[in-house]
Amino acid sequence: MELETNYEIASTAGFIHTRNFTRVALQFPDNLLKDSIRIVRALRANLRSLRDSDGDNKDVGLFVMADTNYGSCCVDEVGASHIDADCVIHYGHTCLSPTTKLPAFFVFGKASISISKCVENLSKHALTNDKPVLVLYGLEYAYAIPHIREALTEASTSCVSGSKLEINFASVICSVINPAEDHKSIHGSAGGSTTNESFGKEAGTRYAIGGLNWNIPEGHKMEDYLLFWIGSDNSAFANVVLTFNGCEIVRYNATEDSLVTDVSQQLKILKRRYYLVEKAKEANIIGILVGTLGVAGYLDMIHQMRELITRAGKKAYTLVMGRPNPAKLANFPECDVFITVSCAQTALLDSKEFFSPVITPFEAMLAFNSSLPVEVRDQSEARFSFIKGVYIEDFDQQDTVIGKEDKEGALALANATEKALKLNDGNLNSIIKGTAKSGAEFFLSRSYHGLEINGDSSPEPYVIGRSGKASGYVDEKSKQEG
């Protein structure tokens, strides 16, 4: 019975049956694969009973998916397309990113939590703070929020201090996603930032992040609220801390029943992200990492990044490699920085072990975008580098823009090829990483260009090697006998 409740077997079977799906993909993270067989058996039993009640003899195929190509929080539409699935049932932690082709049903799970301890910590901290409280939480605790709200109401009515607690709760956006819906108005802008959509004087400003949304009344801002997070210190919490870094944030650890008020470690991540933005400003060759093939709008974001990089006078390369790691990215040493296009929670990679920094599209906009248009910007003005501590001049952006006299495609291609393959007085080492404008220029500066074939040398005659076992070759035995 606990399995039926935790994994919402009845509602999942109802979703499959009412929509007449015949091929269903069940996506599990690594930590929930141990329960996949029992879940499949329970789903088949529920679907069989639903078909018998309706007199339907149509069989439903259930396929378990594991080891996703990208982040497990996103719906793996690529893996589901391999089995020609009609929909995806996603289990475990999720970012609730919109899908492109397949409908998805999300089972968040039900992590254990002490309602009384949570309400006690929440009410005590709210009484000692003058700010109103906004409660955010991991989606695995969404089932407990109504009980927490009810217990908090009872605690506030029995409070003898007479002080009224102003506590607001965020709500879950949805548990079912259809690709035909317009998710821009539901999820807000990409990266989990705020949306400035007004829904009247009473609604105020609407915010959305990590599958949660809430409204802030007019005349208020997020910095006026104390954020109370219920959940573990994971990527969802880091996304909240980095997005609303101007707010006071506390975290309730439901596993240990403790309140964590020190989030300085997460704020250190924010400082490092600013450092990576400054590093990206000095990059000349940028690699765009395709970190998802299922999140809606990822192709538009890739095109936007390429246009942004081109306008900044830099070279862009698009790379598709699944989950990035230091070994994979080390195969592209010419790239000074990488931009990962994925959901907001998997985009925050800790790139300390990488040879080149990995940033998000938002950080790329901060690094490469300018408030002035290209034609107004002073190309001769130097820029101060916080990394080197000196003033530097960026490459002339007009080198990457085809002039009016070079509009013919053949002439423009010839000019670009000549610039890329041009040698500087035969000194190949004059171009180093960070100064090359393209991968071709960086390749010329490398000391090793691959195998070199010398046509003048004649082939050597072949030699017959040893034969026999390693304990005693044939020639060794003959010597011993002689």
pLDDT tens for residues 197-220? 433 334 578 898 888 999 988 888
**Per-residue pLDDT averaged across 23-34, rounded?**
92
Ramachandran area for residue 298 (φ above 0: left; ψ -120 to 50: alpha; else beta): alpha
| Whether the domain at 115-181+203-261 and the domain at 273-370+381-395 fall into the same CATH topology | yes
Percentage of the chain with pLDDT > 90?
26
pLDDT attached to residue 455: 59
Asked whether the whole model's pTM tops 0.85, one would answer no
pLDDT-derived band at 298 (thresholds 50, 70, 90) equals confident
Least confident of 136-140, 145-149, 341-345, 403-407: 403-407
CA distances in angstroms from 435 to 314, 365, 389, 432, 444, listed in the order given: 11, 21, 17, 6, 13
pLDDT attached to residue 245: 85
Biggest distance spanned by C-alpha atoms of the chain: 110
CA distances in angstroms from 248 to 14, 18, 267, listed in the order given: 42, 45, 11
pLDDT tens for residues 214-230? 998 888 889 889 999 99
CATH fold of the domain at 3-107 = Rossmann fold (3.40.50)
pLDDT attached to residue 70: 79
pLDDT at 371 exceeding the cut of 60: no
**Per-residue pLDDT averaged across 236-257, rounded?**
88
The structural domains of the chain, with segments of one domain joined by +, span 3-107, 115-181+203-261, 273-370+381-395
pLDDT at 444 exceeding the cut of 50: yes
pLDDT tens for residues 108-143? 999 999 999 999 888 888 888 888 899 999 999 999
Backbone angles phi, psi at 24, to 5 degrees: -120, 130
pLDDT tens for residues 136-170? 999 999 999 999 998 888 877 665 555 567 888 99
Structure tokens at 254: 């439901």
pLDDT at 478 exceeding the cut of 90: no
Structure tokens at 404: 């009016």
**Per-residue pLDDT averaged across 468-479, rounded?**
73
pLDDT attached to residue 390: 57
> Residue 205 CB: number of other CB atoms within 10 A?
18
Average pLDDT in the chain: 79
134 or 470: which leads in pLDDT: 134
Give the three-class secondary structure for 379.
Answer: coil
pLDDT attached to residue 433: 53
DSSP states of 442-467 as a string? HHHT-S--S----TTSPPPPP-----
**Per-residue pLDDT averaged across 287-298, rounded?**
84
Residues near 208 by beta carbon (within 8 Å), at least 6 away in sequence: 173, 186, 187, 188, 192, 194, 195
Contacts 24+ apart (CB under 8 A), 146-151: 147/115, 148/115, 148/118, 148/119, 148/122, 148/230, 151/115, 151/116, 151/119
* Class (C level, CATH) for 273-370+381-395: alpha beta
pLDDT tens for residues 45-56? 999 998 888 777
pLDDT at 104 exceeding the cut of 90: yes
pLDDT-derived band at 421 (thresholds 50, 70, 90) equals low
CATH number assigned to the domain covering 115-181+203-261: 3.40.50.11850
pLDDT at 405 exceeding the cut of 60: no
Please give the helix or strand (H or E) that residue 303 lies within, else none. Answer: helix 298-311
